[in-house]
Amino acid sequence: MSAWPVRRAMIGKVVIGLDGSAGSAAALDWVIANVGKGDAEVVAVHAIRPLGEFLLDLPGTGLDDWRKSLQWELEARWCAPLRDAGVAYRAVTVDRTPALALAEVAEAEEADVIVVGTQGHGGVADRVLGSVSYKLAHTAHRPVLIVPPAP
């Protein structure tokens, strides 16, 4: 019995959604294991939900400080595994709902794939309206890879 040769698809650019959750960590592990050792560029995206800005802008803290804090969290903590693995990446925050942010960045970057975890920090709206991964799978114009949580 002969085996057909299997070719790994050439992935030049990956957009990944990161929010500090276990789901986004699983997606990040997949990216590092499967495309991190090549010449792929990773664009790590954290979406700032418009309603979240309003609710989380507590008295005594400025909106700009809060945004800077989220950008720092993305770059210093959530992207640390990329940096440690020597993967080329950029970290961006986007003022949109997560599914829309990921789809828009993927289009603008001409990404080969969007990678997300199955469980993020979504709230009640995600449970009622559908998760980010569900929305992306049904609306994105780029391939979407949904990484399940580790067993």
Confidence grade of residue 132 (pLDDT, cut at 50, 70, 90) = confident
**CATH class of the domain at 13-147:** alpha beta
For the chain, the domains span 13-147
Q: Which of 120, 111, 112 is nearest to 148 (CA)?
A: 120
pLDDT at 40: 85
pLDDT at 127: 44
Return the residue matching tokens 């020597």: 86
Enter the tokens of residue 71.
Answer: 């950008």
CA 19/CA 107 separation, integer angstroms? 20
- pLDDT tens-digit profile of 61-113? 566 777 788 889 999 999 999 999 999 999 999 988 899 999 999 999 999 99
| Entry pTM | 0.80
Spatial CB neighbours of 39, under 8 Å, sequence gap ≥ 6: 12, 88
Confidence grade of residue 1 (pLDDT, cut at 50, 70, 90) = very low
CA 27/CA 29 separation, integer angstroms? 5
Length of the chain: 151
CA 40/CA 85 separation, integer angstroms? 13
- pLDDT tens-digit profile of 15-43? 999 999 888 999 999 999 988 767 789 99
- pLDDT tens-digit profile of 112-126? 999 999 865 455 444
